[in-house]
Chain A
Amino acid sequence: MVVVVLGVYTFVGHLVPQFTGGYPPAEVKIQPGINQADLVKVGQDLVNNRGCLTCHTIGGTDKGRCPNLETVGKEAATRYKGYNAEQYLLRRLTDPDFSEVPGYPKIMPKVWQPPIALSWPEVKAVTAYLESLGGKVTVQVTADDVQEKPHEIKFPDGASVTVKKVEAAKEIDPAVIQEGHDVMMSLPDKERCIACHKVGTEMPAGWFPNGYGQYCPDLSTIGAMHDADYVKQKVENPQSLPTVTGYPKTMMPMDYKKVLNDKYGKQADEKLVALASFIISHRGQQKLPPEISPWIIGGMFLLSIIVGFFLKRRRT
């Protein structure tokens, strides 16, 4: 009987359409100055093979999980105020949640991040293909686009997105992290980073007890976004880099360099590097998984005892 049943199931398994997941896709190398027709073709291949059509449709009457892209090239020109088609499509691909699309949930991933992980030229190729669907292709790939570096896209409303390849982070020596922590704690209460910022689980010693973390950005995930050079520059000269949106521009003290020089003299630079390393060692945590209420676990345990009791009673 075992053989018969297994045979039937195996037969059914071979009846259905057979697909395989395939190997990881190789990055498509796009030459600068590629003509637009070829760029559109590359973009079309990417759309067909990198999972876009899992959710989107191109043509047809079925309402997919995500919008129908049949005429997106034409619609994109007027979809968002102040944006032309190219800008809208680039923003939608690199920062999908920037606006609502009526009737559809916000589920699109950023195409330059895993699991899709398109390179910057590939993003442009997809944009070109989408523009071609009912609209005019304006995207071009330049020599700068194919450089292996982060690419910042600025949009008409002042927003910007930096598209960069995800690389393995350099490990920081734990001794340097500890040194940086000690540097921070050696500063007067009011000068410590934790006086205004949230930095991991560090709490300020009584200063700004009600304002802790409210006045300045949370640094718990800064290591995932910036490197030590960024933090070092920000500490030395806060006004030399943009302030995080929503926070006052002049909050951060301008005299940290002087404070460190006064305290550490010739070692000030070395201490600043250690402090920056300590700050960027905070790389944040993933979104917490859902909690299971202890009542549910307790209830299941109780239910199993009750069932066991009734089964035993029936047996005797």
Chain B
Amino acid sequence: MVANSWATFMMTPAGVDQNGNLTDIFLAVKNYAWMPINIHRLIANVAFGGAVASAYAAYRFLGATTKEDKAHYDWMGYTGNLVSISALIPLPFAGYFLGKEIYGFDQSMGVAMMGGIYSWLWIIQAVLIGGLFFAANYYLWLGMGRIQGSERYRGAVKFMLFILALSFAVWATPHSLVASLEEARKLGGAFHPILGRFGFMTYKVTVVNFMILTTFFSFMLYRRSNKIETVSWGLMGKLIQYAILLITSAGVLFLGIKGEHAQTQVRVEIFSPSQVGMVLLAMITVTIIDVLMYRNAKIIGEIEWGKMAPRSQYALVFLAISFTWLMGLMGYIRSAIRQYWHVWGKMVDRSGYGYTPSIGFATTTVSIVVFIFFCIVALVFWMSIRSEQQAKST
């Protein structure tokens, strides 16, 4: 949190007057973006930590030779993934809150971030987030394969895959096209007449909520794969759950479409937070119903830890790499939106280093840093395995 205050002070300074003189050190720490970034980074750290732990488990699973080891590391990978994805689900909301506070502090910084020269960065982010949700769900669907009794729910996978794919396609659609003059003339402008609208934030917020609900639904099916409820209201309970999810999805879609033509303030202050609230409320109520419904449930099959398809472990490693890379990318955008301001609006950086590197340069740097990070992580893994082997041999 201390380090966060340094970074956010440079973006959204507080506790200083217009001339840069310190008036309140407490406010300088507790500046505009401090708590939003604290929340965002705290949740992201949980997601990242879970992903790295599950990546370690994946590595050990792939190298395991005994059934016991495979079972142990399969379980470990699942648990790490559970932690990671549980944190991933509310993360877009925390990111929205952070973006909203940046806009609230200074509209020009917010607009440069989302609608100006850095808008393409969010398309790259969309690619990564889409990959994360795909990998997370794919792991869960493969995981259902080791649970006896899950055959009943496997038919739902194709529908969830369709929703995820469609949502990802919308999310990754930019508003302005990279088109030549000739192409733009044929299109009638810089925006595609039909698909261009998916570049608007309202639709992106809508589909990310769909992806979140789909992932939540995957978890829900995974959880009940080998159970049959024993409560008398089981069927009603399930119907209520499905109804809640359907109504929430409809409500999110309705607000998303309406948001295209709403005023910015209405969309940002009312519609998008309402979508978030509806999804959170839906997840909470469905979870409560699920917990109550499956108390003392009849177990119809065992979870066969260890009998997991090896390709699922690559999904876990992919998650860890993507989380790490995404954190690096977000660090770039957080810093880059300051442009030539060392402290936004207070201190201009007139040194020779006062330029902002391009997105391509930044992605190359992030990739190098992530590679170094995973080399260090591999070293830690290797040391851990070595000490285990030494302990066994003694």
Distance A62 CA – B261 CA, assembled complex (angstroms): 12
A-B pairs with CB below 8 Å: how many?
173
Distance A6 CA – B373 CA, assembled complex (angstroms): 12
Which residues of chain B are near A115, meaning CB under 8 Å? 106, 108-109, 341, 344-345
Among the 9-residue stretches B225-233, B351-359, B382-390, the one with 4 or more Cβ atoms under 8 Å from chain A is B351-359
Complex contact B339–A21 (CB within 8 A): yes
A2-B321, A289-B14 known, 12 other contacts, Cβ within 8 Å? A5-B318, A7-B367, A16-B123, A16-B359, A17-B178, A19-B120, A21-B356, A22-B339, A24-B340, A113-B345, A285-B27, A286-B16
CB < 8 Å neighbour of B23 from A19, A105, A283: A283
B235 interface contact, C-beta 8 A: no
Which residues of chain A are near B346, meaning CB under 8 Å? 114
Residues facing B in A65-108 (CB within 8 A) are: 65, 103, 105, 107-108
Distance in Å from the Cβ of A227 to the closest Cβ of chain B?
12
A109 interface contact, C-beta 8 A: yes
Complex contact A54–B115 (CB within 8 A): yes
Distance A108 CA – B106 CA, assembled complex (angstroms): 9
Residues facing B in A108-124 (CB within 8 A) are: 108-109, 113-116
Residues facing A in B336-394 (CB within 8 A) are: 336, 339-341, 344-346, 348-350, 354-360, 362-364, 366-367, 370-371, 374
A10 interface contact, C-beta 8 A: yes
CB < 8 Å neighbour of A51 from B14, B30, B108, B371: B108
Closest to A103 in B: B263
Distance in Å from the Cβ of A296 to the closest Cβ of chain B?
9
B31 interface contact, C-beta 8 A: yes
Closest to B104 in A: A290
Residues facing B in A1-28 (CB within 8 A) are: 1-3, 5-7, 9-10, 12-14, 16-24
> Known contacts A14-B360, A54-B112; is A21 also within 8 Å of B23 by CB?
no
Which residues of chain B are near A144, meaning CB under 8 Å? none
Distance A113 CA – B106 CA, assembled complex (angstroms): 12
Distance in Å from the Cβ of B87 to the closest Cβ of chain A?
10
Assign chain A's interface to a size class: 35 or more
Complex contact B120–A65 (CB within 8 A): no
> Known contacts A2-B374, A9-B363, A116-B108; is A289 also within 8 Å of B18 by CB?
no
Most buried by B among A9, A109, A292, A311: A9
Distance A60 CA – B121 CA, assembled complex (angstroms): 25
A223 interface contact, C-beta 8 A: yes
Closest to A11 in B: B363
B117 interface contact, C-beta 8 A: yes
Complex contact B111–A65 (CB within 8 A): yes
A169 interface contact, C-beta 8 A: yes
Interface string of A281-305 (1 = CB under 8 A from B): 0011111111010000000000000
Closest to B265 in A: A105
A-B contact pairs, 30 of them (CB 8 A): A2-B321, A6-B321, A6-B371, A9-B128, A12-B124, A13-B360, A13-B362, A17-B178, A21-B336, A21-B340, A21-B356, A22-B339, A22-B356, A23-B354, A51-B108, A54-B116, A55-B108, A55-B111, A60-B189, A65-B107, A105-B263, A105-B265, A115-B108, A168-B21, A224-B17, A224-B18, A284-B17, A285-B27, A286-B27, A289-B14
